[in-house]
Amino acid sequence: MTELTLLAAYGILVLITLLLQVLGSMRTLSMGYLMSARDEPREVGLMTARIKRALDNSITAMALFAPAVLLLEVQDKTDNASLLACQVFLVARIIYLPVYALGVPAIRTLAWLAGFAATAILYLLAL
């Protein structure tokens, strides 16, 4: 397992989150609306709204995580510490999704913090 494998795995996690959001929207909104241009916004259910917020957060986290991994790879600066940081990031973000969807309060914040700290460490290692 390398940092790149973990980055690819995170990409797939984001795609799964996206798919869950689409499937959740299909439960409350009609296919006719979903396939239209959605000119007037409509409300989705509580859990789908949470998955949507988790998705937005995961995309922001991805925009910060991916450059750090690519920087380390291009400079050949990967080591055990960077591998561990990537593993912590991925595990934290995997926990983040169901914990957000189920509305578990403190653990979600801790998982977010772990992912944030792991990303910050990757940048320190890359510099």
By CB under 8 A, tell whether 14 contacts other proteins: yes
Residue 37 vs 106, nearer CB to other proteins: 37
Work out how close the CB of 124 gets to other proteins at its nearest, in angstroms, rounded to a whole number: 21
Show the tokens assigned to 59.
């995309």
> Which residues 42-61 are close enough to bind other proteins by CB under 8 A?
59
By CB under 8 A, tell whether 83 contacts other proteins: no
Residues in contact with other proteins, total (CB under 8 A)?
26
CA distances from 41 to 52, 93, 109, 126 (A): 14, 28, 29, 42
Distance CA 100, CA 48 (A): 10
By CB under 8 A, tell whether 9 contacts other proteins: yes
- Residue pair 94/16 in contact (Cβ under 8 Å)? The answer is no
By CB under 8 A, tell whether 8 contacts other proteins: yes
Residue 74 vs 127, nearer CB to other proteins: 74
Convert 4-33 to b/e letters by CB count within 10 Å (16 or more is b).
Answer: eebbeebeebbeebeebbeebbeeebeeee
- Residue pair 6/40 in contact (Cβ under 8 Å)? The answer is no
Interacting residues with other proteins (CB under 8 A): 2, 4-5, 7-12, 14-15, 18, 32, 34-39, 59, 62-63, 66, 70, 73-74
